[in-house]
Structure 1
Amino acid sequence: MLREVHYCVRIFPSTSNRAIARRMSSFSSNENGSDATEFDEDRKFRKLDLYKPKEAPRQKRAEIKFDVPQPRSERMPVDQDWTSVWPTAQSFRPSVVPLPLRQGYREKGAPPGKYANLELMKVPNFLHLTPAHLAKHAKVLRPFCTPWPAGLETDEKCEEHFPVEVIDSDYCHAGPSIRDPRSRIVTLRVKLSDLELDYHARDKLLRLVRDRYDPATDVLTIVTDRCPLKKQNYDYAHYLLTAVYHESWKTEPWEADKAESDMECYLWEKSRSEANAVGFFKRMQQSLAGQEEITHPHIQHLPRDCTDDDVKGVAQVKDYAEAVCGIHNEGESLQSWDKYKRSVCSLLGLKHSALYPRTISRSCSWRRVVPTPRTLTLFLVLFGFGLVLFIYLPRSFEERLVRSPRRRIPVLLAYEGEAEVHTFFCDTHTTQCPRIEFTPASGWQGGIPGVPDLHLLSAHYDTRVWVHGGKNRHYVRLLGVIKSEDADSLRFFCQMWYQELPHPIVVESDRTEIWLPAWDGRAPPGRYYRPFVFSCPVPFNVSSPLSTGPANVSLVAEPCACPPNSLALSKTPEKDPKRGIAVCVKGLDFSEDISARLVEWLELQFLLGADTVFFYIFQVMPRAVLKGQCIQRWTSSCATTAGFVGSNSKESNCRVRTSRTFQPSGGSTSLTTRGRSAGHELVPYNDCYYRHIPTHEFVLLVDIDEVVLPRRHSTWQELLDDIVSAKPKMLATYASLAVPNTYFFDHFEREKSWSWFLSRVTRSANFTRPGFAVKSFFTTNSSLAVFNHYTLVPLYGKLQRTVLLSKKDVQLNHYRAKCPAEMETLCKDDYFRFTVKDKTLWKLESKFLSKVKETKEGLRTKFLVHVGKEGTS
């Protein structure tokens, strides 16, 4: 029985080892013992504690409370002297500043307060620069200040007495260091008119200081920063001014040996022309000295014993001196030669006639002063002397120009050969015309005096032309329109503005009309705007050193007229190799929503091999589709320009170029009117073509209802590669490659499809006649002017306009709603009557579907625009 109890005790897992051992020992002792009482006690079943006994509660330590005083900001009185609390610059302390400041950011709730706010401690503060601090500092400094000097109340008086202006800067930091490297820079300014300089000294000083002199303000600026301390740079700036001033007054020994042809600037004083003019007047006075009364207008006011100074004061001599100096120093131009002719005729007492634009008249009409044989003979001799000067001056000036190291880019009449360009020099722009800004200009510009209906869209730099002898002729091409009855007889000049040159390069412009007169029908001249390409050749001696071209160009009616327009040239670096094919689209003008169809058409162009799609937008809804095209993977060029002629459109964030056709004023909407309005679309077409000349090999002009579809190839590039490999001389013979056209009319039988284009599977069996309604691939190095269908004017005379590609290789799918009214009979007989199933486009269905879905979903999620339902036909 005891063993059974023992076993029962062992089954409790919570019994401790010590209790079990005690019970085991007690059992064993009772078996041999004789004490009955202990045996009875052991037989009792003892209570087993399964839970840990609770400890007696401990007494908590008494909390010690400290008496924390309030922060100083709360105990501070309202009228506390803040200058004593915050005397100098220091980090922010929240317990001192009595302001409820907050700084920082939390996702929820107000910004953190000022206590334990690291943001407030990191930033500098200006609590030591309050008005009270400044007033206190000013009060302390006032005894050390002196009154402003009398007589220096205005800036003009200060500049008069203190012409040298020195500018330096001090910087204040709330940091451990008071030094700033920028504080060492010292700027010294002085006007050259305040310095005592003659012509030689001024010219030499300007050569020494170079671009530190501003001719617009007549201010010389010297900036010194190479020394570590401000005082050192201050002394160094004054030293430089003193050094260049005294150096400019020095005359080197070799300067005394300079001839007139070696001078940088022609000087009238002590020149051979001055000696000839003075000698001429003295000899004339001596020849007329025997007469009782001298009636010559120039001699009668001179004293009997006149000196050289008396002769130099004659108005005719002054005019002659000004004309001669102008030709030598400012260059040859129609105005300068006309002024020289006037002065010579006035000096000789002859009448003069105006110069024609291209020729310089050398004939003067007689005005006999004294009707005596002696005077007549004298005037004939003087007239011959004037003609000698007239012929001699250009040659001597040309020889001097060749020897002069200063004018290696002469803006003069060139005599290098027939290929050189007649160039004009204009010296009046700096004083009479507003300053030309080298900034891009967008939109239509025009309104030339005398030709108000001339408008320009863009300008481009063209380096494709190579002339005889291996020379590369550069051109500036301007695109615009003219509406004038005598447009063919107008002359225009291009003023090419280079940032490297102080004056513009002026050449006469040649223009090529982007239209054929036969297309006008019986329209009277001057009724419509006529599109033109204005070509301005760049002289070889300018294009060679300045190969990047001018920054801006202006078109004027007179060579030296003030420019009413300024077009920035579209120039793209030609370092990168040309890419494939750029697609140009004419202006989109749709009142209905064509976004779904537009997305499909764009994806087709990129699947077929388009590298760039260039839009001209009139009005398309919704415009968010076009914004999506700009942001997504498409590489279409983007810009903004004017809409109507003479107006500018607002800038757009989307990089899509906009334009608009020109509506003729008056007249009915006849065939001629519609055709002429379509002709104005040629200006944007040519603008797109010229923009992609430096970047692409081919340009394709199409509309959004046309798809150029290769029949045996996957892409356009494969098609063109095969054509060129089969006929290597094709690109050297033709300027454009035309694609035959076939119609897909809406009333033809269709199949159900998710795509607008894939549902059109029936076309006319007959293609249009050769050259009609075709679209072409234009090579970017062979066309001067293009229009909707093929090259209108090749770049070289030996090139042919276009060649028609085979219908077996490629076709133009032209999707039209209906047949034009002028083609109704032709459509019924040829296109409506004979049709055929054509599912060539379906070879692109799988790729086409994935791309269109991806684009439409992207547009819906990003821009929340409706782009049409799939499955609609």
Structure 2
Amino acid sequence: MIFKTGNTTCLWKRDFVLLIFTVVMVILLYSMVTEETTTARSPVPKLQEKTDIYPVTISEESITPIKNTKHLLVSAFIDRRVNGFDIRIIGIFKRDSIQPLHCSFYCGGVFNQTTPAQILPHSDNFGYPYTATDVLCPLPKNCDASHVTLLTKPSENMSEHTFIPVRNKNEKTRFNFTVCVSNLFGDYNNVLQFAQTLEMYKLLGVDRVVIYNTSCGPDLERLLQRYSQEGFVEMVPWPIDKFLKLTRGWRFTVNGGDLQYFGQLVTLNECMYRSMERLRYVLLNDIDEIIMPYKHDDLVSLMNTLEPQHPNVGEFLIENHIFPYKHFEPSGRFNLSQWEKVPGINILEHIYREDPDRSVYHPHKMIVRPKLIEQTSVHEVLRRFGERYKVPLDVCRIIHVRVALRGHLKLEELNEDKRLWDFQEKLIPNVDEAL
């Protein structure tokens, strides 16, 4: 009996050890499987590990207030064309409150010392309290800046300020043409003309259209989403109405407000610098304007002719010509049934062109080579490194379908111009597909 009892005790101990070992192995295996499943289903932890962690606040917004000032930051770019400076900041400054500022940088994971800023308000402000402003910054030695901000005092605590990214780093030219559309705001919902203009620019060889959007109508919003997904339109949010009192006009004495035309000058300059390192030409015009070559099939052929003839020109002026939408082509051949319920103007129906009144100032729009331009206004460049050339009317002009500028002119006093019809075979089906 004693022998049997001892044997049973040993067996019980052995079974107990095996049971504990089995339980431990099951727990370990379950833990490993659970971890793999969780990792496979939830990639967030890995993404968080790769996310850059900055010791300061980084803004990815298109408008960022500058602490202790009444000014706003928009964007910053590498720009070494002005001797002694490395970075250009595009901003919106209150003209009566401009004070000395200092550039502060985030350099390769560390903060470097500040440098004095040079402030260059744009000369075109149309009397408004706020104006487009450039700020030039020299970089400290051995600083590869990824972010920058502006300080009122060089000794300020960096952690209390918001930095913006430095753009145009290591970009290569990839496009020939970009159109910069300065602003969309209010209930603008001119869908048909918008689609026709975008498709027209595709046919003319434009690679990208950059649009600064404060707000627009619901139908146009859907159309823009389609073009954005396609990659032809680059939408830049422009919530300027959250920071300033805006006006739809351009004269302060008439319209009041803080800034001209929803910040039109700011966005045109921002777009030009945004495009500087990635393309050859920028078209600065409104969305209801088409810069149209009359002796070439497209803009590529036009500029391949003009640039060798004028190698030092950075600003090509194109004269604006109004096609009043109150006058219709009489046959109605382009009054198409599929467009009847689409909101907006059908530009193919308007073929009558005003002659400008050359006794008064008549505006132009521009094709610019951005590397030769420093500051631009709406109708002409303010500061440039190259020359200016006015393109002859028989070579290129703007087709601008809108309300008449010289409303007193009778139909027989206008010029018939069917240049758009040269593209109708491709334009119409492309617009149908877009809509």
Instruction: Report the secondary structure of 1:682's partner residue.
Output: helix
What residue is the counterpart of 1:173 in the other structure?
29
The 2-side partners of 1:770 and 1:691 are apart by: 34
Contact 1:584 1:688 in 2 (8 A): yes
**What letter is aligned with 1:584?**
C
Instruction: Report the secondary structure of 2:162's partner residue.
Output: coil
What residue is the counterpart of 2:38 in the other structure?
none
**What letter is aligned with 1:724?**
E
Shift of 1:784: 1.1
- What are the residue-to-residue correspondences of 1:702-851 with 2, within 5 Å? 702-725=285-308, 727=309, 730-732=310-312, 734-751=313-330, 752=332, 753=334, 754=336, 756-766=346-356, 772-794=362-384, 796=385, 799-800=386-387, 802-819=388-405, 827=406, 834-851=413-430
Structure 1: runs of 5 or more not aligned = 1-82, 91-124, 130-171, 177-433, 468-472, 521-526, 647-660, 820-826, 857-873
| 1:747-768 deviations in Å (ceiling 9; x for gaps) | 2243421371111111113476
- What are the residue-to-residue correspondences of 1:17-32 with 2, within 5 Å? none
1:673–1:440 CA distance, 2 compared to 1 (3 A): closer
The 1-side partners of 2:181 and 2:222 are apart by: 18
Instruction: Report the secondary structure of 2:103's partner residue.
Output: strand
Bigger radius of gyration among the two? 1
Contact 1:480 1:683 in 2 (8 A): yes
1:701–1:599 CA distance, 2 compared to 1 (3 A): same
- The match for 1:479 among 90, 110, 122 is 90
Shift of 1:828: 5.1
Instruction: Report the secondary structure of 2:214's partner residue.
Output: strand
What residue is the counterpart of 2:50 in the other structure?
none
What residue is the counterpart of 1:538 in the other structure?
139
The 2-side partners of 1:846 and 1:630 are apart by: 25
TM-score, with structure 2 as normaliser: 0.77
The 2-side partners of 1:481 and 1:669 are apart by: 16
**What letter is aligned with 2:131?**
R
Instruction: Report the secondary structure of 1:703's partner residue.
Output: coil
The 2-side partners of 1:679 and 1:640 are apart by: 13
What residue is the counterpart of 1:631 in the other structure?
229
2:126 aligned with 1:529: no
Percent pairwise identity: 17
The 2-side partners of 1:675 and 1:89 are apart by: 77
The 1-side partners of 2:226 and 2:297 are apart by: 27
2:74 aligned with 1:457: yes
The 2-side partners of 1:703 and 1:173 are apart by: 65
1:735–1:89 CA distance, 2 compared to 1 (3 A): farther
Contact 1:482 1:530 in 2 (8 A): yes
| 1:660-705 deviations in Å (ceiling 9; x for gaps) | x8527xxx97436489523831111111111110101111112121
| 1:231-253 deviations in Å (ceiling 9; x for gaps) | xxxxxxxxxxxxxxxxxxxxxxx
The 1-side partners of 2:168 and 2:24 are apart by: 51
The 2-side partners of 1:695 and 1:507 are apart by: 28
What residue is the counterpart of 1:689 in the other structure?
272
Instruction: Report the secondary structure of 1:848's partner residue.
Output: helix
Shift of 1:507: 1.4
RMSD across aligned positions (CA): 3.4
Contact 2:213 2:237 in 1 (8 A): no
What residue is the counterpart of 2:212 in the other structure?
616
Task: Identify which of structures 1 and 2 has the higher relative contact order when contacts are C-alpha pairs closer than 8 Å and 6+ apart.
Answer: 2
Instruction: Report the secondary structure of 2:228's partner residue.
Output: helix
| 1:468-524 deviations in Å (ceiling 9; x for gaps) | xxxxx552111222225253xx21111122125x3324211112222336x43xxxx
Contact 2:119 2:134 in 1 (8 A): yes
Structure 2: runs of 5 or more not aligned = 1-14, 33-53, 340-345
1:505–1:582 CA distance, 2 compared to 1 (3 A): farther
- What are the residue-to-residue correspondences of 1:360-509 with 2, within 5 Å? 435-437=55-57, 439-449=58-68, 451=69, 453-465=70-82, 467=83, 475-487=86-98, 490-500=99-109, 502-509=110-117
**What letter is aligned with 1:713?**
H
| 1:544-567 deviations in Å (ceiling 9; x for gaps) | xx5xx4111011112222343311
| 1:437-466 deviations in Å (ceiling 9; x for gaps) | 5x45214222432x3x2111111222445x
| 1:237-287 deviations in Å (ceiling 9; x for gaps) | xxxxxxxxxxxxxxxxxxxxxxxxxxxxxxxxxxxxxxxxxxxxxxxxxxx
- What are the residue-to-residue correspondences of 1:566-645 with 2, within 5 Å? 566-574=163-171, 576-591=172-187, 593-622=189-218, 623-632=221-230, 634-640=231-237, 642-645=239-242
What residue is the counterpart of 1:5 in the other structure?
none
| 1:610-633 deviations in Å (ceiling 9; x for gaps) | 11111111222222221111223x
1:846–1:435 CA distance, 2 compared to 1 (3 A): same
Instruction: Report the secondary structure of 2:111's partner residue.
Output: coil
Contact 2:245 2:258 in 1 (8 A): no
What residue is the counterpart of 1:260 in the other structure?
none
2:141 aligned with 1:559: no
Contact 1:740 1:768 in 2 (8 A): no
1:759–1:126 CA distance, 2 compared to 1 (3 A): farther
Instruction: Report the secondary structure of 1:584's partner residue.
Output: strand
1:776–1:550 CA distance, 2 compared to 1 (3 A): same
1:833–1:475 CA distance, 2 compared to 1 (3 A): farther
The 2-side partners of 1:89 and 1:474 are apart by: 70
Question: Which protein is richer in strand relative to its size?
Answer: 2
1:723–1:663 CA distance, 2 compared to 1 (3 A): same
Shift of 1:572: 4.3
**What letter is aligned with 1:791?**
V
What residue is the counterpart of 2:44 in the other structure?
none
The 2-side partners of 1:677 and 1:558 are apart by: 30
Instruction: Report the secondary structure of 1:698's partner residue.
Output: strand
**What letter is aligned with 2:165?**
A
The 2-side partners of 1:855 and 1:535 are apart by: 42
What residue is the counterpart of 1:663 in the other structure?
246
Contact 1:693 1:781 in 2 (8 A): yes
What residue is the counterpart of 1:855 in the other structure?
434
**What letter is aligned with 1:479?**
I
Shift of 1:847: 1.0
2:135 aligned with 1:515: no
